[in-house]
Amino acid sequence: MWIPVAKLEQFQNGRLVVKVEGEKTPVLLLYTGQEIFAISDICTHDKNPLSDGPVEGETIKCTRHGAKFNLRTGKATLPAPRPVKAYKAKLEDGQVWLEV
């Protein structure tokens, strides 16, 4: 099921963290100018938010210990022990939608 979660105008520097009903952790939305990515905004290594991390290609890096997470799949690199949840996201007429 696709649900509306934000308007593109709410983003700052291509980023926005939203609370999605039914999800335990906040969701980080990233807009690259062409594509929307959505992942859980919590590092599985130490619970640090990922929202302030640098984006390198299709990965985001945790600022605390350097774990990286793939923005499409959520796949993690050490020291993170588990992936984060990745969501399908789309942008239609300025509205961001997530599949939950």
Task: Kindly report whether the global pTM for this prediction surpasses the value 0.85.
Answer: yes
Specify which residues 55 forms β-bridges with: 60
* Domain parsing of the chain, residue ranges: 2-99
Strands laid side by side in the 27-31 sheet = 2-7, 95-99, 86-92, 36-40, 27-31, 15-18
Q: Is residue 24 classed exposed, middle or buried when 0-12, 13-18 and 19+ CB atoms within 10 A define those classes?
A: exposed
In tens, the pLDDT along 41-68 reads: 999 999 999 999 999 999 999 999 999 9
Q: How far apart are CA 63 and CA 2, in angstroms?
A: 31
Query: What is the CATH number assigned to the segment(s) 2-99?
Result: 2.102.10.10
